[in-house]
Structures are given as C-alpha cells and as structure tokens.
Amino acid sequence: MKKNFLIIFLLSVYSIIFAISEGNFIISSKDLELPGEYYDGNNYFWRADYHLEDLKEATDLNIEIHNISDDSTVLFFDEGNNEKKNWKYIKSLLDNAKKFVWIAIYDVNYYPFIKELKELKNKNIDIRLIIESQNINSYISGLKKSGILVKYDKNYKLMHNKFIIIDGYCVITGSTNFTNNGFGYNSNNSIIIFSNELAQDYMNEFNEMYNGYFGKNSIDNKPYKKVEFDSGLIEPYFTPEDDLTNRIIKLINEANKKIHVMIFTFSKRQIADALIDAKKRGVDVKIIAEEYQSNYNWAQINYLKQNGINVILDKNDKTFHHKVIIIDEKITLTGSFNFTNSAQYNNDENSLIIHSKYISEVYEKEFERLWQKYQK
C-alpha cells in the first residue's frame, strides 16, 4: 500500500514538472521538492541545491577559497598569487559536469582550461564556446579539431562576456578571461553562483549569441530579473539590451556612506559625475584604477582627481582588470562591464548587481588589501 502511494506521489510530481516546464524555463528549486535531476523539455538539468550536497561529499579541495554561502564562492587573482588554488576549484566544478558546459569568454588561451575542455569532450560532455573573433588562436583551432563547437562573434565591436554555465545550475563569471595573463598575472575576480534561475538567464543569453544575435541585435529575454540566493539577491544585466549605466548611477545616487571602485577602463562621464556628487554629499569615494588606461585623454581619472575624488593607480606590471563597485558594504557590481560607451551600447557584456553584505564584505576586504598595497 505504501509502495503504491509512493509511486502515485512521484508520478504526480513529475506531471507537475512537465506541466509547468513549457517555454524551456528551469523550475525554481524553492517551489517544488524535486529529485536531484529532472527533465525540462528535451534537456536534462541538475538542481543547484542537490548538486551542492553531492559536491561536498565527492570533492576534497583542501584549499582556501571565499565560500560565502553554500551557493556562492568568490575567487581573486592577483599577479599569479592565487592561480593554482583558483584553477583547482574551477576544475573541480568542470570535472563534475554531467551534461554540458557552455562558455562565452572574450579570450581563451589558458592551457589547463584547454586541456580540461578536451577531456570533458572525450566524456561526451556537450562543450560549446563563443569567443571574440579577434582572439582566434591555435588553442581555439585545436578545440575545433577535437570536435568542440566553437562560434565567433558577429559583433562589429566586442563579444566581451566572461561566463561559463555548467549543467543549468552553476554560473561562473566576473572579470577573468581564461588566459595565461588572466590567471597568472592580472588582477581579477571570479564569482561562482549555484542557481538554476540565474543559470537560465545566462543560458538564454548564450543561446541568443549562439544563434547569431550579437550587440545591438540582442534582446532582453531574461525570465528572472531578480534572483534570490542564500546570501541575498542578484540583478543580472546583459548589455547592450539592458541599461546598466543608469542603474549604476541610481545606485551611486542612493549611497549613504561608502563607494569603493576597482576599474580597468573608465571613460563614462555620467558615472564620474555621479561619483563626484556622492563625494560632495559626504560619501567616502575611493577608486583604484588601471594605470595604463588612465593615461588616455578620454579617461575620467584626472577629472575625478580634480574634483576631489581619492584615486590611486595600480602597480601590477601586467593589468589591473577588475570592473567592481562596492556600495555601503552591502551592494557589489562585478562582471565584464567597463565604464564606457562601448560597454553600454555596442559590446556584448554581462554583469551582476549583488545585494549581499556577505559578498560585499569579501570584495571590500580585497579592495582594502589592494589599496594598502598600492599606497606603499
């Protein structure tokens, strides 16, 4: 009797799954008690919360990483100091892929990553890569020869995204290109979020580009404008279809105590003016900027300094590549978006606005560490 009841219950659950899965949206794991994996149309997905428990049991990383919560992790790269441990963590996520790994990254030449993708392909994992057409290299050609699906952007500007999606539950993004410089020399950050809802947003964006729609041909097709997770709430942004510039300005205008910025390229006068206005109303505004980029006439760094903003330049011999704003130690922006017209109106870019004091605290600590380092 109990066995029959269990069978009926499971069948009813699966009927609910298929009934509300039309439109290829991933079901929120918060709404239903589902098995560890499930079908959505013809696709096979893993629930984020199930995978996390499985990963804890199956993976002994034995490294120090910024585990903010069960569903979020932050990695920092700085002149090669964290290269091996960060790669070990990312590799552990890729090794656990069961069905697919989709990648949209501006530049790729990091050999351990290239090797990993080939090994995953040999395990029949669906590997797809979208890359900026200016960055074709022998490694990418080798991936194509091994049977990996590679597409180059059709944007006359840049496909500047930096994200990876694993099995519809995990998103890896931030400022990091998967290159030797990105991992071994530059100052960068990566954030890993385990969320079926966020993954669906990124899958939609990936499919849009994979089908040939780049830049100004992009559309806003996010099913989830806001995503809740253990640490707080996320607003995903994809430009040029989303107005991220004005959202940034609004957040700056609402700041009460502190705005700390780490930025590679800064040419957007409207954002500079918003920071100056914040300074005038008593907000502590500090900026760490890439030295080389700051020397151009279009750069806003001298303008900011002339208007009383405390700015220091990086001392990394390679590149200070962050694109981060931390506001009042509770909101953090990160992703591929530099403060430029091209990032807003032309390039394909991805960013997260993260409402979380826990994640902001980790980014704030890295900002303070670099501020002290570059002041010496």
CATH number at residue 95: 3.30.870.10
84 annotated active-site: no
Average pLDDT over residues 25-44: 40
321 annotated active-site: yes
Percent of the chain clearing pLDDT 90 (strictly above): 73
In a domain, 341, yes or no: yes
Average pLDDT over residues 172-190: 97
In a domain, 19, yes or no: no
- 249 and 334 together in one domain: yes
| Choice among 66, 160, 279, 323 that is catalytic | 323
pLDDT in tens, 264-292: 999 999 999 999 999 999 999 999 999 99
- 57 and 198 together in one domain: yes
User: Residue 128 to residues 37, 58, 149, 201, 220: CA-CA distances in angstroms?
Assistant: 22, 26, 5, 17, 22
pLDDT in tens, 288-305: 999 999 989 999 999 999
| Choice among 321, 322, 330, 355 that is catalytic | 321
Q: What is the pLDDT of residue 76?
A: 93
- 87 and 147 together in one domain: yes
Q: What is the pLDDT of residue 65?
A: 57
Per DSSP, the three-state class of 62 is: coil
In a domain, 34, yes or no: no
Query: Which helix (H) or strand (E) covers residue 46, if one does?
Result: strand 43-46
Query: Which of 214, 234, 254 is at the close of a domain?
Result: 234
Q: What is the pLDDT of residue 30?
A: 41
Confidence of residue 191 (pLDDT cuts 50, 70, 90): very high
Average pLDDT over residues 7-34: 35
Q: What is the pLDDT of residue 154?
A: 84
| Choice among 318, 328, 357, 373 that is catalytic | 328
- 288 and 351 together in one domain: yes
Confidence of residue 69 (pLDDT cuts 50, 70, 90): low
Q: Structural domain tally of the chain?
A: 2
Confidence of residue 20 (pLDDT cuts 50, 70, 90): very low
Average pLDDT over residues 223-230: 91
- 228 and 307 together in one domain: no
Q: What is the pLDDT of residue 81?
A: 84
Q: What is the pLDDT of residue 155?
A: 83
In a domain, 14, yes or no: no
Which of 109, 159, 157 is CA-nearest to residue 130? 159
In a domain, 317, yes or no: yes
- Longest Cα separation, the chain: 79
Query: Which of 234, 261, 281 is at the close of a domain?
Result: 234
Confidence of residue 46 (pLDDT cuts 50, 70, 90): low
242 annotated active-site: no
Q: Annotate 252-282 with b (16+ C-beta within 10 A) or e (fewer).
A: beebeebbbbbbbbbbbebbbbbbbebbeee
In a domain, 2, yes or no: no
- Whether the per-residue pLDDT at 253 is higher than 70: the answer is yes
Q: What is the pLDDT of residue 9?
A: 37
In a domain, 33, yes or no: no
Which of 258, 332, 336, 265 is CA-nearest to residue 295? 265
In a domain, 190, yes or no: yes
- 284 and 194 together in one domain: no
Mean pLDDT of the chain: 85
350: containing domain: 244-375
Q: What is the pLDDT of residue 367?
A: 97
Confidence of residue 27 (pLDDT cuts 50, 70, 90): very low
- 143 and 228 together in one domain: yes
- 94 and 161 together in one domain: yes
pLDDT in tens, 317-338: 999 999 999 999 999 999 999 9
- 248 and 206 together in one domain: no
pLDDT in tens, 157-173: 999 999 999 998 899 99
Query: Which of 180, 203, 234 is at the close of a domain?
Result: 234
Q: What is the pLDDT of residue 336?
A: 99
Confidence of residue 354 (pLDDT cuts 50, 70, 90): very high
Q: How many CB atoms lie within 10 A of CB 64?
A: 9
- 248 and 303 together in one domain: yes
Q: What is the pLDDT of residue 19?
A: 29
- 272 and 183 together in one domain: no
Q: What is the pLDDT of residue 108?
A: 98
- Whether the per-residue pLDDT at 199 is higher than 80: the answer is yes
Q: What is the pLDDT of residue 131?
A: 97
Alpha helices in the chain, H assignment, sequence order = 2-20, 48-58, 83-95, 111-122, 138-145, 180-184, 196-210, 244-254, 269-280, 301-306, 341-345, 357-375
- 219 and 274 together in one domain: no
